[in-house]
Structure formats: structure tokens, C-alpha cells
Structure 1
Amino acid sequence: MFAKVFKVKSNTVMKGSDRRKLRADVSSSFPALSTENLTELMPPKEELNIVKVYAHKGDSLTIYVHNKNPIMFELEKTLYPTVYTLWRFPDLLPTFTTWPPVLEKMTGGADLMLPGVVVPSTGLPAVEQGRLCAVNLVGSRAPVAIGVATMSTREMLASGMKGKGFSILHTYKDQLWAFGDKSGPPVIGPVETEAAPEGEQEEQLDSHDVLPDTHVTETLLQNLSLIEIAANTPQVDEDIAVEEGSEEAEDCESYQLSPQEAMDKLLNQCFFHALKHKVKKSDLPLLTSTFLRNFLFSCCPEGQQVDIKKSSYKKLSKFLLVMQQRKILQVKELSKGVESIVEIDWKHPDIRSFVAPVSEPTAPAEVMDGRAEQLYQPPEIISLYGISAKMLPLFQESSHKKGDLLTPSDVRSVVISYVKANELVHPENKNFVMVNPVICDCLLDKSEQHDVSVLKWDDLVTRCLERMQHSHQVTFPGASPVIRKGNIEPIDISVAQRASNKKVTMIKNLELYGLDPSLFASLLQQRVQASATCTALPGAKDRVQVQIQGNQLSHTAKLLLEHFKIPRKYVNGLDLSTKSGKKK
């Protein structure tokens, strides 16, 4: 939960009534804490702060801070202790033990798998499913993580200690720990200790001595040889192979496949993961570009990246066509040149039999929440110019035909070649081109044909472009280029007046740029805290416009230009944003 940086919404000093309520809630949630323990945890004459934050997955949490260290955090009206609190009261929660290498995995956001749990000779603590537990490392009782048990102790043992054991909420060295003074865990001797020589017993550390932060893991590893761990408990090897979709296992498996086969396998895995666990019926119809960016990419395991061009399919459209032939889904072109997924057969055997890897991708829903939406890439838009019958004489010498589409640079090159081939550069001033009969018929108006004998180079090219048929090509990431007639319609932002002098901001044409209107509306709504809806766009088939209460021009402009990197020339209505801020 705290693997990534969270956003602080507010940080205020707690009032006396709030302190008393928190004390009562902590006492109720953790009866093992005595009155003296509560006084030690929350001294009555010392300042307590309440910090409201948003986690990277969008969860709203409350953190209670004493002396710069978080002591408790609250999620959905449930209190949880931090590692700073557990270091002071190590017996507050039932504790399970794991190996030092597993801590790094948990700090990165992984849950604790049962093969990584050490089973002591006295047996595991008796807990029920859903019980909050602590996790420590071999050789020390100082907790380094807290999590919720996904099954009871009896079920853990019945499963042969396989599968996920604990959903980890908070760990030593995560961002919540970093919010405090970043101190290391104290050295607390293990519950089970073998009889040691008297000389060694005298040298044992006091339970309140603190081990330097930078040497905690190293010291534990020195005291406990990993070779001995592997020899004494064969579960460790299984843990490394099972826990959170072990990277070593994935690398080994990928090594045996060709790069193209490995990418095909990853693409299929992410595709079925998205269909089974991410896409809902209410999301349909779903733009294929939105599916790729917001659903398929988000299911990619951490440390890997889906690149369709490196697969055997090469293009998203070809991959979806294969899936359509397998009757897994149905794709239709609802708007010209823009394909959408309109139907998914969730009862298909391939979907039902798919088992998601143990490692969950991080923050899939944040694609539209200001972080992972970095995956969005604006489409590449190229202006094209078609050769009309009237303009054909100017392009025939370059072997072009009527209807051919050229880029502006191609048009310029053809014009320059034509002028030089026909020796039309003005002999006295090379900035001018002499008008011959072909140029006269193609580029001059009737009123100019008897008066204009020369044209500037720029004027010559500009006139040529203006008289050609305008088209544009749009290329979305992972999709084939789409060519449409005319110039692309810009994203239009406008403000309308409603009843009772209320204003509403409207945004349309988002689909043309690969932006899902409903997700855009949701993100904008979160930013401005105003209600937003998507309505059918009058006069446009299969198009919708986003409506949000109030004059939100500046927020919308910032979202489009800075966040999604849409070029300014493709956004209309930005001038209204500056005018609305001026008052006379």
C-alpha cells in the first residue's frame, strides 16, 4: 500500500476531543495495550498530528503522527499500527517469521507467500482469516511488516504451506516508514533461543539497543547463512520460485523462448488478465486504443513491458482479429477509422481457465490518475494533400497520379523540382519564380492571370497546398495508420450558461485523439471536485461530449496540454481561459 510515494492532503494538530476519541479507538482495537502503554504511545502533554493522505492507488487514509513518527494509520475506519509502534510493543499482534531476502520483495509491494513463512518447532500462531498479523525476520522479534491473513492457520497447514498467506499493508523501509525519522528496528532477541555459553550470554545486546539502519539486513544475513537456510528448510527454494511470480523463474522461462515467442506469451498473459480481472461489462463499448493503454498495459508484470511490434502479430488490430476469430471478443468500427471492443465472451474457456500470475501489477487504475497515465501517448497526426484534377499538370512530371496523397514536404519537393526542371527561377532575383501556363492555370485566380507574372517561393508553395485536397493521417500507438478526408477536428472546449446563471464546461472530440471521454471526465472530476457527465454529441454519430459544472477552462487546458501532451494547435478554446480571468 505504501510502496510508492503518497500525496499529503492536510496535516493538522489534533484537538483534545479527537485525541480522546483516538485513544478510545486504539484501546478498543488493541485490548492488549494497557493504560500505561496508551499513555506511552500518546503522551497527553505532547503534540499529536493527524495527516490525511491519498495512497498511490487512490485510497484515502488518515495517519496519526507523534514526535514526527507515524504511530497508527486508518483505512476504511480500521486502525493499523505502524512498525514504529510495533517496535515498542512487539507482542501486540500475532507474529509470523520469514527470511531476510523476502523483506525486499514485500517492501516493493509484494504480499507474503506461505512458502516464505518459517514454521517454528512450537508451531504457527493460531489466527483466523482476516486477522491482522505482524511479520518479523529470522533472528529478531522486531516486526518489519504488518498484513492481513488470507486464510486461517489450519488452512495454511492444510494447503501444505502453499499460496498467498498475508496481504501486506505496510513494511519497514516503505514510504510510510520514510514519513517518520527513518530509524532502524531495535534488536529484540528471538523467542526461541538455544542455550549459549555463559561468556556469550554476557555479550548479548540490551533489548532496547538500536541496530544502525543501514546494517539491519546485512547483519541478519551474516548471522544466518543462506546456505544453512537452504539446507535446513527446503521451503526457501520453493519460496523463491513461487513468491510473487519470482523474477528469476520468469527470466529462466523467457530464456528458453525466442524473443518473439516470449513477447507473444506476455501479450497473451496481459490480454487474458485484463479481460478476466479488469474490463467490466459497463466499460463496453471500449476503444481498442483505450483497452491497450488503460487495461492491457496495466496488467504487465513489474519490470516487463509489452511491445506488440516485437510480437508475431506486429499490430494490435491483427492481434484482436485473431482473438475475434477465436470468438473471445467482437470488434467493430463504430466511428470511421476508430475500432472499439463491443462484446466479450467471459464464459469462453480460454478466459475461464486463465489463472492470473501471483504478482499483481502496480496501480492499474492510475492510468487516469496522474501517475501511470504516462503510458498514454498522443497519436501521431500528419497532414496530407491529395492531387486534384486541376493540380495534376503540376505533378505529372514527377510521375504522380490524381488522388495521390503527399506530405507538405513532398509537395514542396515536387514544386521545387518542377520549377528547376522548367528553368522558371527568375534570372535577376532568385527569390521569385516565373509563372508559366501550367502554374497560371493551377495556381492563379482568373483576375490574376493577366497581371501576375512572378510569384515568391513561399507564395507558390502556399497556393499549391491551398488548392489541393486536404486529408490527414492519424496513427495510434500499436495500431495501423488511419487516413481521413479533411483536416482533423480539434478538441473543442467551450463554456455555456445554464439556468440560474450557472455555467458548464463542455469538451468534445476527445475520441479522435485516443482519449476515453468517460475516463477523462472522471479524472477532471477528481481534480476540480465538480460533477461531470458524458452526453451524446448532437449531430455526430457515436460521439459523446464531456460536461462538467462550472468554468473549468484552465483545469481542462492544463490536463490536455501538460498531462496528455496534446499539441496546442489541436485544442480550441484556450484563448477563453485567459480572458475569463480578467476583470475590469
Structure 2
Amino acid sequence: MFAKPFRVKSNTVIKGSDRRKLKADLLAAFPLLTADELSELIPNKEDLNVVKAYAHKGEAVTFYVLQKNPLFFELEKRLHPTVYVLWLRPALLPVFRTWPPVLQKLAGGADLMLPGVVVPSSGLPDVRQGESCAVTVVNNRAPVAVGKAAVSTSEMRSLGMKGRGVCVLHTYMDYLWAFGDKSGPPSLPDTGSEEQDMNGEEYDISENEEEVEKCEEQQSSGETLLDQACCEELKLADPEEDQVEISDEKEAQNQDDQKTPQETMDALLLQCFLHALKSKVKKSDLPLLTSTFLRNHMFSCCPSGKQLDIKRSSYKKLSKFLQVMQQQHKLVRVKELTKGVESIVEVEWKHRELRSFRVPEETDVEAAPLQDAEEGEITYQPPEITILYSVPARLEPLFLDAKKRKGTTMLPAEVRSVITEYVKKNELVHEHNKNYVTINPALCDCLLEKSEYQEVESLKWDDLFSRTLARMQECYQVVFPGQAPIIKKGHIEPVDISVASRGSNKKVTVIKNLEAYGLDPAVIASALQRRVQASTVIQPVPGTKDRVLVQIQGNQVHQAGNMLIDHYQIPRKYIQGLDKPPKSGKKK
């Protein structure tokens, strides 16, 4: 649930009455938690903050934060502890164990599949479907994930330990964990598990590599992003329609894992269509141009993190989709008021499908797609990019005194300092003109061309430094906040923004190399889609395996550039294509 950034709506200090109510709710939700233990977790005399936020799929969630660490989060009126609390009270929830390699899958947004569960000699914990539970890895009792049981313990056994076991809500290393102090899990020996033998020796995972790999493969084959149909409780908007809604959600739960990308886009298209009709369109707006309805209403109803692209649906065109909505669903009536231009002239407001549709709780994405970060929100932070130079074998003699061997990377200022010390140590400053440096055999071999050996006897200081840097291997270092530095050879590729022609001379804007700066192309595409009200597509970059480009309808060079510079704080020198955006041709 928190595998992607969430958006903070408010961050306030809790009132005294709300604190007392929270404590009562926690004691009721967690029977194993005593009043004294709760007082230690939530002291009366320390400020406790209430943070209301929206997850990337639009779910409304509330955090209770003490000393910058989130302790509990509330989802669908149910309280769950974070890993920070479970590290202090590891026995607070029923625990399922898994292998350490599976943790990476869980942190990426996957659920815990039953083939990846390590069953201890004492058996599985007794849980009911939907009950809160924790996940640990073998040999450490400190929980690394929190979720809900997808099925009861008895059903897990009857299923032969196949299928989904725990719908994961929060993990160590996700964005909710990063909201806190980012501390790691403590080492708590798991003395009660079968992973230790009679002598207390730890279970050796290396002896069971085949089993670990098998579980990891099964976990990978069954992994899925958080399944809302599995993890969310049913919300019934109208008692008269309870039966219809329950059957719809059960059907969605059974079919969600089997949907193709085209079916997923069809479902998103229908969702945005119903959302737009229910919350955006008024009777006074009719008749409404279908193109205006798509651009101003449906695009703005697309959930954060998703992209609405009709061409990737089974309908391919808006007119065909609306035709289905008119003939099969009887939701709207579309008419051609002007030749070649269609308009929505009537909406069936009392239609059962429209009445039963629940508008997501996420605030209007059109109103605030790129607002400045509020207090406590985890936002994108640009990397720190530094140009470095690596010592090649040819120039190694000049750097030996400074103990810089081949392959050592240095800043330009460090290179300048080392060369200056070399010149002074070898007394190479020209005795009559201190602006020049006398060339000795080592400098001759390292910096001069063969044709210059007999002619050049001295060099200016600036020429000396520029020749040195020119013969060194240029590198760059990228440091993302909270991560180890990454050093690569060559120049860092700038974000490339260009305009291309597609089809019948239609213009599209293409953005490449976002990954080099830690930018998620899907997030950029979604933000631009809402900002310019135009469709976006993500496509693989030809000739590469793990890089994609973002394509936007129309010439959006300035819009894309301004967003990257102003909102994401990418320096202008690392963005290519802003200076000369193609101008539209004039008709003669």
C-alpha cells in the first residue's frame, strides 16, 4: 500500500480527548497490549501528531506519529501497528514467517503468497480472514511487514498452502517506514521456531537453497500489487443495493488477477466515465461535446499513478466507447448536433450502475496535481550530481606522490591541487616567468603529443591543467537522498525533450532519460496528463531493456520543461531540448 509515495493532507497535534479515545480503541483492537505498555508507547506528556493522507491509489489513511515515527495507521476504520511498534512489541500480532529473499518482493508491493510461508513445528498461527498479522523472516523475530490474512488458517491448510496468504499493507523500507527515522529492524533471536535445532544453533539457509529459490519463484509468480478486493472491507452505499454490490466485489476479487492489460484499461475507462458523470457533469452542462467531456472531466478523474489511454483499451476510440455506453448500458445518449461533432445530450441519472458507483475519496486531482509538499510529505528530491575524473594508467606517475592509483576518482579541484604539488615538489616553476611550468620527462610523456616532444619546453598553468583533465577519464557521481553514491563513467545523459510527428503529421512530445535522475516515468506521465489535459503513453526505448520514454499528445515542450525545473528541481543544464522547440508551420 505504501510502496509508492503518498500525499499528506494535514498534520496536526492530537487533542486530549482524541488521545484518550485512541488509547481506548487501541486496547480494544489489540487485547495483548496492556495499559502500561500502551502508556510507554504513547506517553501522555509528549505531542502525538495525527497525519491524514492519501495513498497512491486514493485510499484515505490516518497515521499517529510520535517523535517523527508513525506508530499506528488507520485504514477503513481499523487500526494497524507499524513496524516501529512491532519492533518494540513483536508479539502484538499473529506472525507468519518467510525467507529473507521474499522481503524484497513484499517491499515492492507484492502480497505474501502461501508457498513462501515457512511453517514452524508448532504450526501456523490461528487467524481469521481479514485479521491483522505480521510477517517476519527466519532467524529474526522482528517483524518486517504488516497486513491482513487473506484467508483463515483452516482455509490455508485446505488450499494446500497455495494462493495468497497475507494481503500486505506496510513493510520495512516502504514510504510509511521512510516517514519515520528510517531505523532498521533489531536482531531478535527466534528461539521458539524450528529454524533452530536442539542445541540452539541457527537454521542454515544455505543448506536449503533449493527450497528458498523454489519459494521465491512461487512468490514471484503469484505476486501482485495490493488487491483492494482482498484487503478492503466492503462499503455499502445503499442498503437496497447491498446484494448487487457484494456480488460485484466478489466477482472483481476472483477476476482481478486474470485481467489482461486491455481489460484493465477498459475497467479504468469505465471508472473514469462513471466518476465524471457522477461528480463533474451537471444537467445544466448538457449538451456537452464528447471531446470536452474526455479532456476536462474524464482525464481529471483518473486516479493518481494511473494513465487513461483509450487506444490501449478494447474500444480504441472514444466514439465507440460512448456508443457502447449508450446502446448496452443505457447510461447516456449521444447525438451529432453538428456535422462530424458528437455531443452528450442526455444522461440517465437514475441508472442503477451510476447510482451505485462510489466516488473515490481522493481529492480532485485536477485541482492539485502538483501542489507544493505539505509538512511531513515524502516528495521527490533531486539527486546531487558531481563531475569527477578518473586517473588513467598514462597519467599515474603524476599522482603517485599523492597516493592516487589508477582508477581513483577525484574532483577537478583535487586534480588541480595534486598537479600543483607535483610541480612545486619537482621545482618545475619557470624561474623567469612563474606563469609557466617547465616540462620534465614525466610531464612530456603524460601530457604532450609526439610531435611536441622537441618543440614544447614549457606550458602555462591553465594549459597544464586543461591537458591533464582532457587525458583523464571523465565520470559522474549521483547521490540520491538516503542512498549510497553511484559512480559511472562518461557523461550523464540529460533529460531529452523533443517533438516528433506521428501518423498524419500529428505532433507528440517525447521525454527520455528520466530514470537517470530517479524520476518515475509513470508519475511524470500522469502529472503531465493532468496538467495539459492530453493523453500520455509510456513506451520502451528502442535498443534498451530497462528504459522507457514518455509520449504526450501535442507540443508540450515548455510545459514539460517548466514542470521538471520548477516542481522537480532538475537543473536546466541537465534538460536538453528547451532552447529550440519546433514551431508550428504557417499555412501559405
Same fold, TM-score > 0.5, yes or no: no
TM value normalised by structure 2: 0.44
TM value normalised by structure 1: 0.44
Larger Rg: 1
